[in-house]
Each structure stands twice: as C-alpha cells, then as structure tokens.
Amino acid sequence: MINKQHLIDRFLGYVTVDTESDPNSDETPSTKKQWDLAKQITEELKRIGMQDVSIDENAYIMATLASNVDHDTPAVGFIAHFDTSPDFTGANVTPQLIENYDGKDIILNKEENIILSPSYFDDLLMYKGQTLITTDGTTLLGADDKAGIAEIVTAMEYLINHPEIKHGTIKIGFTPDEEIGRGAHKFDVEKFGADWAYTMDGSQVGELEYENFNAAGAVVTVKGKIVHPGYAKGKLINSMHIATQFINSLPKMEVPEHTEGREGFFHLHNMKGAVEETKLHYIIRDHDLSQFEARKEVISNLAEELNSQFGSEVIMVEIKDQYFNMREKIEPVMHIVDIAKEAMEQAGIKPLIKPIRGGTDGSQLSYMGLPCPNIFAGGHNFHGRYEYVPVESMIKATEVIINIVQIVAKK
C-alpha cells in the first residue's frame, strides 16, 4: 500500500517552493526560481535509486527505472511539469490539511473571509470523509502539476522498494514552463526513449483524456491619437473606444464562461489601454480544426472591417498557433488509452474519458513523435486561491501508474 503520510510530505515539500513561470521571459526555464525545485527533484530521484538521472541546461529532468523482466516490453513514460501558473501567485504557499472532510464550508482565510464552499464548488462533496489539502486563500496551491510529480516519484520509489512487482523499462520526465505553453518545446523525445507516455496532469479521479483544444494566441493592438481633450474634436482617436467596439463585435456567448465540452471560444484574458494605444490579449480554442481556423479568420476579418470603417490601419492583429488536438496522433495507437483505462479499473476507478478543455504537454509531445494521453492527478480549481487536492485521489493516481507498468509488462 502507498504510504499516505509519505506522499503528503513529498507533495508539501514541492508546493512550498515557488516555481511560477513568466510568459514575458525568453529564457528556459522562464524564471530562475524553477531551478530550485528542479534541482531538489533531481537529487531526490538519485536518492530513491532511479538510474540515468539527468537535468539539462533548460531544467528538463529525465530518469529511468530499468526493466526487471526477462522479455522485451515497450518502454513507457510518465511526465509532469513543475512550474505553476502566472495567473495567480505561487509564492509563499501555505497549505492547509483538512482531515476527514465533513462536507461543509472550509474557511481558507478567516481574516479575509475567503471560503471554499461546496455550495459553489460542488465537486467537494465527492470527497466527504477524505483528507484535503487546500491553500490558505492567498495563493494557488500548485497541485497543477506538483501532484503529478509527487505521484510519479512515489510510484517509482514504491516499485524500487518492491522488486517483486514486474515491470518493463520506465522513463520519467519533468518539465518547466508548461503553464506558458512551452513545456514540451525543448523536450528531447529521442533522449527520453519511451515508446509512449502519459502526462499526469488531469483533474478529478478517473479523468483520461486524449483530445485537447487546438490553440492559438492573438494580440490585438489598437492605435489612437492623443490630443488635448479641450481641442480634440475631429482630431482625437481614443484607442480604448475602438478596442471596446472590437470586443463587443465578437460572439458574446462564445467565451469560456458560456461553453463546455467540445465547444470552442474566444477568451480575452488581458488588456491594457490608454488613449494612444490599447492591447488586447486573446486565446483562441476549438477542438475541431476547421472551426479553429475559422475562429482565427473571425479575428482577422473583424480587424480588417474596423480598419475599413476608420479608413486607416488602427487595428493590427498577430496570431500565433500554440498547439493542436492530439487525437489525430493517439487514435492510431488507441491501445495505450485502453491500457490506462484497464489500470484505472483495476484500481476501482471508473474512467472518465472526455476531451481536455485546455492544453497539455502531451499534445505537443504527441506531434513530436511521443504519443501521450493525459491521466488525472487529482486536483481541482487550478490556477487560483480555491485550488485543492484530495490525498486519496493522489494515492489512486499513484496506483494507476503502478498498474499501467504491470499491464505493459504482461502484454
């Protein structure tokens, strides 16, 4: 059995290290502080007995657990990321342990009246009677994806300490900068040496995903002209007003708060403006490739239309693709999804196979030649103060990893 307290202690040791990534940095990793946890994990892997432990100049960590069977088996990998989202602070994380959760409101921060309530986050009720790890209401937790790292390392340690459990070659990898879309950019697939892998980066127990959004980012720059307001008639052009017109011209219901399942969206996630210039930062998402391309055209065509109205180029658009739906790369090797499904069923878990409403290192890795579905890591409410993870979910994820390698060894 997995030692519950040992897993808790390992996880807490990770989340209290600040590893927030920075989309404005051109370095890899994007923040120097990511090295702190990367080096800590590297030493831990050596200490528990992993082989070929390495960390490269970009903080990508890889290690191997050699096969203990006398027949050839595929090499299977497990991958997680150690950075946390720049959307909300990950500095000075102070986790709280809620034993035997009673199904009621959890006071995260009494002074600021921050409450994690099942009346709003009804998923909490699935974990009544379990042990929850929450934030103190002032930071994110970092279960995305330090829970995945804790589960992978714990599974490897368990296998090392229990050589009677038969498995083939296992490869593990931990990456920086996943939260800013660069987690797989410098991942050396050939060096990793796995036939396929799984990212441990999903949410609730049972999640098993091999579809994700096609994704792009768009920066819309609106130019204005500033003139003294007392003498501005016919001269001043307020970029913020034009930007507002642009925002309001996009489909109002095709936004994250009004979509679900495979429905795509336009998401305005950042804006900064003054009279002379306003910048709008959008992410564009859709599971269907043709609809994804159509969404990019909507953005570009709207800019052209407004430029035509104003008789000059007041709006400029830069769109960059970020990643694509990995379904195309997974469907030819669906047996790897079936193996994960069987591993969950062996652990008493009902698989929840559904599309990811987001991205994962696995999507990029799949297009780089490493098919890589995504498995739950257990956390909820990522990227904010209401993030939490049930310890029992982390234990189940660890069991799924152990089950997968045993199934592969028997195939």
Q: Is 83 a catalytic residue?
A: yes
- pLDDT of 254 above 80: yes
CA distance 374 to 322: 18
Residues 26, 164, single domain; the answer is yes
Residues 73, 152, single domain; the answer is yes
Residues 97, 207, single domain; the answer is yes
Residues 19, 162, single domain; the answer is yes
pLDDT of residue 311: 85
- pLDDT of 213 above 90: yes
Q: What is the pLDDT of residues 165-175, one digit of tens each?
A: 999 999 999 99
Cα angle 338-408-351, degrees, rounded to a multiple of 5: 30
Which conformational region is residue 341 in: left (phi greater than 0), alpha (psi within -120 to 50 degrees), or beta?
Answer: alpha
Q: 274, 298, 323 — which closes off a domain?
A: 323
Residues 246, 173, single domain; the answer is no
H-state helical runs in 280-390? 289-310, 327-330, 335-346, 361-367
Percent of the chain, pLDDT > 90? 95
Name the pLDDT band for 77 (thresholds 50, 70, 90): very high
- Give the H or E element holding residue 284: strand 277-286
Q: What is the pLDDT of residues 257-297, one digit of tens each?
A: 999 999 999 999 999 999 999 999 999 999 999 999 999 99
Residues 318, 366, single domain; the answer is no
- pLDDT of 348 above 90: yes
Q: What is the pLDDT of residues 92-118, one digit of tens each?
A: 999 999 999 999 999 999 999 999 999
CA distance 185 to 169: 24
* Over residues 317-329, mean pLDDT: 93
Question: Using CA of residue 73, residue 324, residue 150, residue 18, what is the dihedral sign?
Answer: positive
Residues 278, 331, single domain; the answer is no
Name the pLDDT band for 195 (thresholds 50, 70, 90): very high
Residues 29, 165, single domain; the answer is yes
- pLDDT of 411 above 80: no
Q: How many domains are contained in the chain?
A: 2
CB of 410 within 8 A of CB of 69? no
* Structure token pair of residue 8: 């808790």
- pLDDT of 386 above 90: yes
- pLDDT of 391 above 80: yes
Q: Crossing angle of helices 239-249/289-310, nearest 10°?
A: 140
pLDDT of residue 318: 98
- pLDDT of 178 above 80: yes
Residues 88, 188, single domain; the answer is yes
Identify which of 250, 253, 247, 269 has the alpha carbon closest to the alpha carbon of residue 358.
Answer: 269
CA distance 191 to 80: 17
Catalytic hit among 22, 151, 178, 387: 178
Identify which of 304, 211, 217, 292 has the alpha carbon closest to the alpha carbon of residue 254.
Answer: 292
Name the pLDDT band for 356 (thresholds 50, 70, 90): confident
Say what the pTM is: 0.88
Name the pLDDT band for 57 (thresholds 50, 70, 90): very high
CB of 191 within 8 A of CB of 56? no
pLDDT of residue 207: 96
Name the pLDDT band for 181 (thresholds 50, 70, 90): confident
Q: Is 47 exposed, middle or buried (0-12, 13-18, 19+ CB in 10 A)?
A: exposed
Name the pLDDT band for 409 (thresholds 50, 70, 90): very high
pLDDT of residue 316: 97
Residues 171, 102, single domain; the answer is yes
pLDDT of residue 360: 77
| CATH of residue 159 | 3.40.630.10
- pLDDT of 359 above 80: no
Q: 300, 323, 346 — which closes off a domain?
A: 323
Residues 281, 201, single domain; the answer is no
Q: Is 251 exposed, middle or buried (0-12, 13-18, 19+ CB in 10 A)?
A: exposed
| CATH of residue 318 | 3.30.70.360
Paired sense of beta strands 388-390 and 132-134, if any: antiparallel
Query: Which residues form the domain of 273?
Result: 214-323
CA distance 22 to 15: 17
Q: Tell me the CA distances in angstroms from 126 to 101, 201, 211, 322, 373, one per residue in order.
A: 10, 20, 25, 34, 25
Tell me the residue type at 303.
A
The whole-chain average pLDDT of the chain stands at 96
CA distance 112 to 121: 19
CB of 387 within 8 A of CB of 381? yes
Residue 184 phi, psi dihedral angles, 5° rounding: -105, 0
Identify which of 277, 398, 406, 391 has the alpha carbon closest to the alpha carbon of residue 339.
Answer: 406
CA distance 11 to 32: 21
Catalytic hit among 18, 20, 83, 157: 83
pLDDT of residue 214: 94
Q: 302, 323, 344 — which closes off a domain?
A: 323
Name the pLDDT band for 48 (thresholds 50, 70, 90): very high
pLDDT of residue 358: 77
CA distance 316 to 128: 51
Q: Is 392 a catalytic residue?
A: no
pLDDT of residue 322: 86
Residues 160, 275, single domain; the answer is no
